Structures are given as C-alpha cells and as structure tokens.
C-alpha cells in the first residue's frame, strides 16, 4: 500500500475533517475539529510560512504535519514541525515522509533549527532519535473527569476582585490581548514568544472557533484585568484550558485559581464531561493548581530539537 504526502486542500472540508480525525486519534488530549483546523489554515500569519501536510494511503488521510516558522520568537530561523500518524497506520513510513517534506519546506523558508513535540513513548522517541532530534524540555497532558470531579466550591471573592466572562469585553478586547501578551512573554518553553500584533490576535485568537467566550473567565482587581483562563470547547462535551495566566504584579494571590475554578463550574453546567489542559513539567505553580483541582496526568510529551548543518 503506497503512502503519499501532499499539501492540504484548504478549500475542501474532507481535508480539514481528515486532519482533525488523525489529530484526535493520535493525541486525544487536545481538541481538534474540522472547523478549527480549517480556520487555523485560513488565518495563519504570513510570516509563519505555514504549510500543513497530510499523508494519504488509498485516498485516506493517515498522517498529518503541522509546519511553520516560529514567527513570534525574537530569535530567527526557528521552525516547528509536529507529526502525527493515526495509531492504526503506524510503521508504514508516513511519519518519515511527512518529516522530510516538512524540514525541506522550513529550510527553504530560512529555518536552521527544528523543534518537534514527541509523545514520551519508546517508539515515538526512537523515531525522533533516528532522525537526528535530541530531547529537550517536557510537558504533561492533564485530564479531569467533570462527571465525577469534586470541584472546589465557589467562594466569596476578596475585596476589589470580580470575575467576568470574556463576553463582557466584546466591545473592546484589547485589555485581554494585553494580559495575554504579558503572560505569554514569560511562559516556560524552549522558544520565547512575544504577542505584538493585536490585529492578528483578534483574527486568530479572539475569533477562533474553539474559543468559548461564555466560559472564558477573567479576574479583575479594582477594574483591571489581572488573571484569566481561556476556555475552549469542541461541541463534543470536551473543555480545554487554552491558556491560564496572571499578570506579574498580581501573582501569588490565587487569582488564576479563582478564574479557573469559575470556568470549570461553568463548563460542567454547560454539559462538558471532560476537561483537558497542558503544563510544562517545570511550571510548578500551574501544576500545583491543576493537581488541586483533581487533574491527572494522561500523557507526557517531550520537545525535541535538531539543528541543521
């Protein structure tokens, strides 16, 4: 059975649906829908040189690759390539073909360093090693069963603190962009990221089909956004924490915990049955918060890196 690699056809819903289906099968801890991946393709930043790829066998999409430059990093020449193959179709060469095509595209766009997230399983790590990738930092996928979880009760808020949903910022989301930029700037990771393009943030984040503004919760201190948890839902009963963070001057006051607890209560009331999130293994504060909520580790992934030359 021959496996071929090709570019996605953004105009065809079956490509988006096939891409999402493989992602859900290979990485069930992350939300993925056809509408979401089609939106991401249509709203990719031009500086990212994004080129999503699929591996196809007998007309069926069996593997995918997310391929882009890290355009938000102040360090040039960094490429990202994440390869996922459907568990039922591994061992047929799809992953190697996708990786080769992805690296060639990134090199032509100016990348000399390639980063890739790899599930912490023997076969996956061996694949990365065979292709010259060395292990770097790691992260956990966490899961919470909302049907059985004993969420902390909602308590009275401290003086000067209020909680609002993202819908309250519909007329002017800029304060949320500024808070997102502050928390993104010092998020643990191999590659630094800076959010500076408000127009693109509006287009790709604020209007993202997975973002649930009714569940996204913001903690304000004396009227100023100080902490938030961005909620994602897929219409399949799954809730994801896209990002949870606190502005530096407000840390240590439990504001992110308040916001996330409120969002989880809202998610369960809205009919969500599972909650997912992810944390860098070195992000002790957020891991402590998620453990307090009852999240359990579902899987671990390890970021790998290869430098050309």
Per-residue pLDDT tens digits for 252-270: 999 999 999 999 999 999 9
pLDDT reading at 305 higher than 60: yes
Query: Which has the minimum average pLDDT: 126-135, 185-194, 233-242, 293-302?
Result: 185-194
Same CATH topology for 3-111 and 144-300: the answer is yes
The per-residue pLDDT for 193 is: 52
Contact 8, 54 (CB under 8 A): yes
Residues 6+ apart with CB under 8 A from 223: none
The 3-class SS string of 212-226 reads: CCCCCEEEEECCEEE
Is the pLDDT higher at 6 or at 186? 6
At 195-218, the pLDDT tens digits run 778 999 999 899 999 999 999 999
With a pLDDT cut of 70, the percent of the chain lying above it is 96
**What local confidence, expressed as pLDDT, does residue 192 receive?**
45
Distances (CA, A) of 131 to 60, 100, 135, 145, 148: 26, 9, 12, 37, 43
**DSSP structure class, residue 77:** S
pLDDT at 106: 97
Sequence-distant (6+) residues with CB within 8 A of 76 are 110
Domains of the chain, by residue range, sit at: 3-111, 144-300
What is the average pLDDT across 155-168? 96
Mean pLDDT estimate for the chain: 93
pLDDT for the residue 187: 59
CATH superfamily of 144-300: Gcn5-related N-acetyltransferase (GNAT) (3.40.630.30)
| Average pLDDT over every residue of 111-123 | 96
Q: Tens of pLDDT along 65-92? A: 999 999 888 888 999 999 999 999 999 9
Give me the pLDDT at residue 283, please.
87
Of the given ranges (41-50, 88-97, 180-189), which has the lowest mean pLDDT?
Answer: 180-189
Q: Which helix (H) or strand (E) holds 15?
A: helix 13-26
Residue 12 confidence (pLDDT) above 70: yes
Which of 240, 185, 179, 182 is closest to 209 using CA atoms? Answer: 240
Instruction: Give residue 73's pLDDT.
Output: 81
Q: What is the pLDDT of residue 289?
A: 87
Residue 172 tokens, joined: 């002017």
| Residues forming beta bridges with residue 306, ordered by sequence position | 114
Judged against a pLDDT cut of 90, whether residue 101 lies above it is answered with: yes
CATH fold of the domain at 3-111:
Aminopeptidase (3.40.630)
Please report the sign of the dihedral spanned by the C-alpha atoms of residue 101, residue 123, residue 17, residue 195.
Answer: negative
Average pLDDT, integer, range 276-300: 92
Share of residues in the chain with pLDDT > 90 (%): 87
């Amino acid at each position: 059975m021959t496996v071929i690699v090709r570019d996605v056809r953004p105009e065809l819903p079956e490509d988006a649906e096939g891409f999402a289906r493989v992602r859900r099968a290979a990485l069930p801890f992350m939300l993925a829908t056809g509408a979401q991946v089609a939106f991401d393709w249509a709203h990719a930043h031009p500086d990212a040189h994004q080129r999503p790829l699929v591996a196809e066998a007998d007309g069926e999409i069996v593997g995918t690759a997310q391929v882009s430059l890290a355009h938000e990093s102040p360090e040039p020449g960094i490429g990202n390539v994440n390869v996922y193959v459907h568990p039922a179709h591994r061992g047929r060469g799809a992953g190697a073909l996708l990786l080769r095509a992805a690296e060639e595209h990134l090199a032509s766009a100016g990348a000399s360093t390639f980063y890739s997230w790899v599930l912490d399983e023997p076969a996956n790590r061996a694949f990365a090693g065979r292709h010259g990738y060395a292990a770097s930092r790691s992260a956990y996928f966490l899961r919470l069963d909302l049907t059985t979880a004993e969420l902390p009760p909602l308590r009275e808020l401290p003086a000067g603190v209020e909680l609002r949903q993202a819908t309250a910022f519909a007329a002017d989301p800029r304060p949320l962009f500024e808070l997102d930029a502050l928390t993104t700037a010092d998020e643990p990771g191999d590659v630094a990221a800076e959010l500076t393009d408000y127009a693109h943030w509006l287009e790709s984040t604020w209007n993202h089909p997975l973002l649930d503004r009714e569940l996204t919760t913001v903690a304000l201190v004396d009227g100023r956004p100080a902490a938030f948890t961005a909620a994602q839902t897929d219409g399949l009963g799954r809730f994801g924490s896209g990002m949870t963070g606190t502005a530096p001057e407000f840390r240590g006051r439990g504001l992110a915990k308040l916001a996330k607890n409120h969002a989880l209560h809202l998610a369960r009331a809205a009919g969500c049955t599972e909650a997912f999130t992810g944390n860098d293994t070195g992000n002790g504060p957020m891991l402590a918060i998620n453990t307090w909520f009852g999240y359990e580790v579902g899987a671990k992934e390890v970021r790998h890196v290869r430098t050309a030359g």
